């Protein structure tokens, strides 16, 4: 087999066979197929697409390119959850302890922030001492003992995806449905959970700006999950404005803690209850979503969900005191309010711009080497649909550099579009793909 022939085949709209996909992924992982040939193949796939079978074959080849975590020593059904990424998306921080407190085991692999979107690992590091760099043995022990563990992507897990993602990032081939679906699902399959709940975001703060694209991605990933023998459900949720009110690492941790105490924002709480009820359903703890939601509300009101977060933070080296005293979390030196320039309704809050402002403040990385300021970020006072009067505070920015906070403040003011129309906010849960 020759890579050259496979590139021609795909370029001409042909369908790649499983053996051809295996050859290409194995060769690329080992460094036998060079980046320039793989770049040509990625561009050919970008234009000619892949059918469902090819996408599944590609996912399986990528998942098997490294270690496949064996969680068979963990008793019961192991569940995982994945979000395609958004602004203010602190879902795992609240959802994982809620579900674990209900008795369903979570073995989760998380990532760091990407572009304007935040990442769970960065957020969790707001807890002094917390680490996701645990061994596989400790990961399995924690899932067995406390029902919950989160680790980062090791270099042995889906290495083909690691190489391909970096290549796609610089060859303008990221936003292709088959390539995104196989990238996400290869990591999920390699991480070993039996059941996967996907949160596919749609809107200006998401990868998929259009709802129909989000549904297509959701269907593709559910199909892959099922094809690989994992029980998979996808929820398509709104990311046209930030989730909750807090954006930025420690600020989001505080909001997640408030949610675990039953004092969280409505939209964020609704998303956690929906995703959580599906996790409980797939985990075999309940018979219906309604029963799942009741059980989740119960562990919030009796304090078990918050205690589970503290237990999890301690088990991974973090300071659990911060869970009960969130005022101990990193705090910014500077704050900067952004005021409304006129009376009216907020017709739009451009979501990816809010993410970019948080990144400028130090909440995200400008380069791979950037060090994150865990205390930096934004607390929104007003979101789409709200009425504001001139001079009212729209949001407060937090950071440690005066120039950056002023630049981000000017940019955030422009992300608010104020007008005369009271726009009806769309639903948080747009749909479910089962």
The residues that are catalytic are 82, 161, 168, 183, 187
User: Which CB sits closer to ligand URA, 114 or 407?
Assistant: 114
User: Which CB sits closer to ligand URA, 165 or 339?
Assistant: 165
User: Which CB sits closer to ligand URA, 86 or 399?
Assistant: 86
Report the nearest approach of ligand URA to the CB of residue 107 (Å): 18
Q: From 412, 285, 346, 358, select the one nearest 119 (Cα to Cα).
A: 358
Report the nearest approach of ligand URA to the CB of residue 174 (Å): 6
Report the nearest approach of ligand URA to the CB of residue 9 (Å): 23
Torsion on CA atoms 251, 255, 257, 260, rounded to nearest 10: -170
Could you tell me which stretch among 13-21, 151-159, 179-187, 392-400 binds ligand URA (CB under 6 A)?
179-187
Residues 6+ apart with CB under 8 A from 263: none
Answer yes or no whether residue 45 interacts with ligand URA by CB under 6 A. Answer: no
User: Which CB sits closer to ligand URA, 184 or 214?
Assistant: 184
User: Which CB sits closer to ligand URA, 159 or 409?
Assistant: 159
Report the nearest approach of ligand URA to the CB of residue 249 (Å): 19
The 266-305 contact track toward ligand URA, x by CB under 6 A, reads: ----------------------------------------
Report the nearest approach of ligand URA to the CB of residue 58 (Å): 12
User: Which CB sits closer to ligand URA, 174 or 334?
Assistant: 174
Centre a 10 Å sphere on the Cβ of residue 391 and count the other Cβ atoms it contains.
10
Could you tell me which stretch among 178-186, 262-270, 394-402, 411-419 binds ligand URA (CB under 6 A)?
178-186
Q: From 214, 224, 24, 188, select the one nearest 107 (Cα to Cα).
A: 188
Residues 6+ apart with CB under 8 A from 118: 87, 88, 89, 90, 247, 248, 249, 252, 355, 358, 363, 364
Q: From 175, 192, 176, 188, select the one nearest 222 (Cα to Cα).
A: 188
Report the nearest approach of ligand URA to the CB of residue 162 (Å): 10
Give the separation between CA 278 and CA 94, rounded to whole angstroms. Answer: 15
Cα three-residue angle 96-98-100, rounded to 5 degrees: 65
Site size with ligand URA, rule: CB under 6 A: 6
Report the nearest approach of ligand URA to the CB of residue 150 (Å): 16
Q: Which of 184, 221, 243, 250 lies at the binding interface for ligand URA (CB under 6 A)?
A: 184
Give the separation between CA 226 and CA 222, rounded to whole angstroms. Answer: 6
Give the separation between CA 100 and CA 299, rounded to whole angstroms. Answer: 10
Q: Which residue has the tokens 């359903």?
A: 281
Tell me how far the alpha carbon of residue 267 is from its chain's centroid. Answer: 16
User: Which CB sits closer to ligand URA, 177 or 413?
Assistant: 177
In contact, 237 and 430? CB cutoff 8 Å: yes
Give the separation between CA 295 and CA 231, rounded to whole angstroms. Answer: 21
Q: Which of 117, 120, 183, 249 lies at the binding interface for ligand URA (CB under 6 A)?
A: 183
User: Which CB sits closer to ligand URA, 208 or 356?
Assistant: 208
The 137-176 contact track toward ligand URA, x by CB under 6 A, reads: ----------------------------x--------x--
Q: Which of 16, 180, 272, 346 lies at the binding interface for ligand URA (CB under 6 A)?
A: 180
- State the angle between helix axes of 91-101 and 304-315 in degrees (0 to 180), rounded to the nearest 10: 110
3-class DSSP assignment, residue 67: coil
User: What DSSP letter does each residue of 270-327 carry, written as one string?
Assistant: HHHHHHHHHHHHHTTS-SSHHHHHHHHHHHHHTSHHHHHHHHHHHHTT--THHHH-GG
The 333-362 contact track toward ligand URA, x by CB under 6 A, reads: ------------------------------
- Closest CB to ligand URA: residue number: 183
Alpha-carbon distances, residue 15 vs 34, 45, 116, 249, 277 (angstroms)? 22, 10, 35, 44, 39
H-run or E-run covering 101: helix 91-101
Report the nearest approach of ligand URA to the CB of residue 207 (Å): 6
Q: From 186, 240, 161, select the one nearest 208 (Cα to Cα).
A: 240
Residue ranges in contact with ligand URA by CB under 6 A: 165, 174, 179-180, 183-184
């Amino acid at each position: 087999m020759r890579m050259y022939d496979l590139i021609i085949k795909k370029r001409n709209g042909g369908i790649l066979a499983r053996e051809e996909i295996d050859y290409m992924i194995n060769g690329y992982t080992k460094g036998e197929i060079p980046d320039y040939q793989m770049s040509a193949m990625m561009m050919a796939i970008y234009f000619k697409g892949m059918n469902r079978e090819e996408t599944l074959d590609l996912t399986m080849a990528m998942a098997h390119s490294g270690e496949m975590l064996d969680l068979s020593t963990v008793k019961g059904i192991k569940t995982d959850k994945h979000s395609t990424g958004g602004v203010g998306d602190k879902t795992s921080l609240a959802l994982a302890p809620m579900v674990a407190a209900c008795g369903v085991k979570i073995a989760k692999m998380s990532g760091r922030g990407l572009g304007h979107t935040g990442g769970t690992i960065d957020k969790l590091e707001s807890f002094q001492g917390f680490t996701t760099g645990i061994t596989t043995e400790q990961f399995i022990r924690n899932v067995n003992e406390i029902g919950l563990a989160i680790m980062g992507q090791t270099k042995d897990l889906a290495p083909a995806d690691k190489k391909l993602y970096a290549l796609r990032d610089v060859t303008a081939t990221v936003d292709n449905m088959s390539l995104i679906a196989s990238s996400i699902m290869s990591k999920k399959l390699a991480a070993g959970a039996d059941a996967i709940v996907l949160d596919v975001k749609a809107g200006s703060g998401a990868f998929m700006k259009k709802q129909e694209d989000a549904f297509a991605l959701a269907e593709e990933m559910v199909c892959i999950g099922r094809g690989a023998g994992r029980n998979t459900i996808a929820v398509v949720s709104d990311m046209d404005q930030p989730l909750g009110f807090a954006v930025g690492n420690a600020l989001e941790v505080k909001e997640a803690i408030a949610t675990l105490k039953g004092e969280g924002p409505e939209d964020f709480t609704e998303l956690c209850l929906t995703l959580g009820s599906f996790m409980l359903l797939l985990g075999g703890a309940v018979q219906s979503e309604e029963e799942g939601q009741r059980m989740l509300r119960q562990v919030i009101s009796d304090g078990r969900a918050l205690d589970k977060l503290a237990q999890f933070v301690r088990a991974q080296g973090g300071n659990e005191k911060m869970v009960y005293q969130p005022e101990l979390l990193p705090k910014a030196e500077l704050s900067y309010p952004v005021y409304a320039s006129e009376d009216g309704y907020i017709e739009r809050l451009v979501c990816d711009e809010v993410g970019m402002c948080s990144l400028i403040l130090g909440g995200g990385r400008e380069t791979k080497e950037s060090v994150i300021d865990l205390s930096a970020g934004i607390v929104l006072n007003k979101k789409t649909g709200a009425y504001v009067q001139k001079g009212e505070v729209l949001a407060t920015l937090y950071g440690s550099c005066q120039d950056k906070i002023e630049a981000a403040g000017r940019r955030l003011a422009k992300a608010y579009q104020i007008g005369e129309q009271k726009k009806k906010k769309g639903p948080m849960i747009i749909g479910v793909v089962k």
